[in-house]
Structure 1
Amino acid sequence: MRSAELKGQLVAFGQSTRFDRWLTPLLLEAAEPERQLLDGGEEIRIIDHFILRYRLPGGATVLDRFVARRKDLTAVDRETLLGWRDPVEGIFEIQRKDGDAAVLLNLVDNLEYRTYSNVGRTAFRGVSKGCFLHTCLVPVHSAGGAWMVSGAMSSYPKCSATEIAQAVLHLATSQPELVFRNPEELEQGWQRMREDRAAFVEFCGGDEGAAPWCLSNRRLSQCARRRPLTATVH
């Protein structure tokens, strides 16, 4: 798979000495303070984030510099690499395995991803339908609708409901843009906000006003009891 070859070259480029001044502090910061040790999976996750999303001086990423430096890349190669600027991080439930791929449901955006690994089907050995994975995915340009695992992949057993829910909540609140990848749910959110605003205007007689905080708070509470609001009121 050409995507796997490109990813290997990109990782080697990102771990070269030219980027030590930025990558090394990130690894040291995440290491155990006493022994300066870092879990292997976490190290891979940090390196992958650094290569794809960390902003270097001037605003470019390691990925941007790799594409700019490699004049031998074909147009397809460039398009593939630049498609990795927006990786999808999530907690994924394994829906099924299909040949070398695994069909994953992202609990953060509620979308399915047909996913491959650069090491083949062995990447999904030991996990089965109903298990959960925390990883990042990047699109495979040469196969429309296909995705590839990028960086570390950690698994959760089926019984880890509380831990999984906490991980999903953390991702959704720390990186809300991940939730908004689903256009249907995004539209549902906007529709609910429009309905909330209409209910507020109907109850209060307008969408703005001035009153002492205690009175405003009381009116908002009364409105909320009639219809729970999803919109944030400032």
Structure 2
Amino acid sequence: MIPSSDSLLRYESPVLVSKNTERKSPRSRPLKVSSQQMVESGPVPPPPKPKSPSAEANRQQTEEILNAILPPKEWMEDNQLWVQPVSSVPCTRVDVIHLQEQLDKKLQERQARETGICPVRRELYNQCFDELIRQVTINCAERGLLLLQVRDEIRMTIAAYQTLYESSVAFGMRKALQGEQGKSDFENKISELESEKRDLERLVNEQKAKCDAIERREAERRDIEEKKHAEEVQFLKRTNQQLKAQLESIITLKNKS
């Protein structure tokens, strides 16, 4: 027989429902016979005292509500259908204290995180809340149904937040991809602009070199022209002095004669 999973929700002993692969109708209530029960020899015990119809009806109604709120576990083994419903035994204060201890113990054993998002902590608290719903439903079915609505609302809210989170992550991924693509485009544009800048700087350097060469040639030509002009001026001055000296000598000779 497959053992039941270790859960904070209390279950009854597994019950053999059918010995073949065909399951019975959901409306038919299986005979709750535990696999652990054995036929013992000895005197037949006296029949139990009949319960009042109202108590039996309330018990059956409570079990139906529990099965509707917390469906029984079902599995097949060796072509046999086993069912394990939740326990309908009323709880005591000691059971609540034990539930708290079990919750703390499992949180430590499974190393659940105390803060933040933790699937392990969420699973254990869901089991604990289901157990509390079971305990409350046995004492007051209406209160248990109200807690069921609270549980479903909490799960629906968490599912909505999870959907919102997943859509936000997808949106962030799309924006990140768009940013990476835009970054690549900008990097290509920057490379083109840098190449254009280098070409322009090379052209500017060439023009500066040409300008410097022209300025050097013009300076050399200006120096040559100035030197030539100075030589011509000196030549004219010497010629003027010679002519002046000749003229003075001629005037002097005429005055003597």
> Fold conserved (TM > 0.5)?
no
Larger Rg, first or second structure (1 or 2): 2
* TM-score of the aligned structures, taking structure 2 as reference length: 0.25
Greater RCO (CA < 8 Å, at least 6 residues apart) = 2
* TM-score of the aligned structures, taking structure 1 as reference length: 0.27
Higher helix share: 2
